[in-house]
Amino acid sequence: MIQHDVSLLPYNTFHLQATADSLCEIKSAADLGVLYNEGKLHQPMLILGGGSNIVFTRDYEGLVLLNRVPGRTIIQEDEENVLVELGGGENWHACVQWSVNQGWGGIENMSLIPGTVGAAPVQNIGAYGVELKDVFHSLIAFDMHTGMLRTFHYSDCHFGYRDSLFKNKGKGRYFILQVLLKLNKKPAVHTRYGDIQAELAAMGVSNPGIKEVAEAVIAIRRSKLPDPAELGNCGSFFKNPVVDSALADHLQEEYPELKRFEAGPGRTKLAAGWLIEKAGWKGFRRGAVGVHSRQALVLVNYGGGTGAEIRQLAQDVQQSVLEKFGVQLEMEVNIV
């Protein structure tokens, strides 16, 4: 069941070469139970889903657990809503398409986000005005400290902006087996964020449903973001920073075109991609790594780049934006 000295190149979307001491595919709670009983879960461990949110800067001296838990199950439904249980190893975008095809709304704005279902609550993934927490019901996870299953409800997860318990205090402790989402059979579409309205207009759609919104989001993402199968990347590398509104007002005096969004009393979210582009990084290339030419929020590996080079480029971008705007960018990806 456990493989040794395994290349991690096929398991990360940055196409970075690294080797794991050992690796094991997990398809059920029983698989984890066997490892726990054999004492294999007391060593350094790394949980991987789609590998779309990680940068390997070195070989991994421990056990890599690949989340390959399958399943799409309707738990209950009524006239308004449907509760679905998705396996942690399921492809996220495939599940979004499945939901849209059933006519169930709530996650269509998160179309084409790379990765697996199990990673979705870890990051509290989101796009175009919608976050996972908006449809989250609960999840079932294996506690690798105790060998027991545990159910987490909304309040247990401590969701924040691209953040959760599983990214902080619970990092590495819980293996997410199933995620339960509450979807809407009579959905209201969300089209006000980003370029969705413009894309729908270009499509000739005046009264969109969730299918049209999903199609618009897919078109927008494909126009801006490189396909990881063709060009190594992990999508958005940095979080959109949330700053004091006073700082945003000051910046807007100098940059009237500043992209900003309200983020609560006295707080404003800024577009990280805009800041990076204005700092002169869009299209920048350093050897085999660089900043994407169509979306400055995306760092790319043109082939043969290393994780250390990606990390250094990210740090240089952070320093540049801090010096120019007084804004600290936070990496969204995990650096190993």
* Structure token pair of residue 90: 């399921």
Band (pLDDT 50/70/90 cuts) for residue 120 is: very high
- At 237-280, the pLDDT tens digits run 999 998 888 888 888 888 888 888 888 888 989 889 999 999 99
DSSP string, 187-236: PPP---STTHHHHHHHTT-SS--HHHHHHHHHHHHHHHS--TTTSEEEEE
Domain 2-67 has CATH 3.30.43.10: yes
Return the domain boundaries, the chain: 2-67, 72-184, 232-335
Of the candidates 22, 162, 199, 309, the residue annotated as catalytic is: 162
Asked if 332 is an active-site residue, the reply is yes
Q: Answer whether 200's CB lies under 8 Å from 165's CB.
A: no
Band (pLDDT 50/70/90 cuts) for residue 86 is: very high
Range of weakest confidence among 35-49, 90-104, 196-210: 196-210
Of the candidates 52, 99, 138, 236, the residue annotated as catalytic is: 236
Domain 232-335 has CATH 3.90.78.10: yes
pLDDT over 90 (residue 1): no
Band (pLDDT 50/70/90 cuts) for residue 200 is: confident
Of the candidates 108, 131, 199, 332, the residue annotated as catalytic is: 332
Asked if 236 is an active-site residue, the reply is yes
Total-model pTM: 0.86
Q: Answer whether 55's CB lies under 8 Å from 234's CB.
A: yes
How many CA atoms lie less than 13 Å away from 153 in the CB half-sphere?
1
d(CA 9, CA 15): 5
pLDDT over 90 (residue 119): yes
Whether the CA torsion 207, 125, 269, 283 is positive or negative: it is: negative
- At 283-314, the pLDDT tens digits run 999 999 999 998 999 999 999 999 999 999 99
pLDDT over 80 (residue 144): yes
Domain 72-184 has CATH 3.30.465.10: yes
The values of phi and psi at residue 11, to 5°, are -110, 15
From start to end of 287-335, where are the E strands?
289-291, 298-301, 334-335
pLDDT number for residue 283: 95
CA neighbor of 129 nearest in space, from 240, 225, 237 = 240
Asked if 254 is an active-site residue, the reply is no
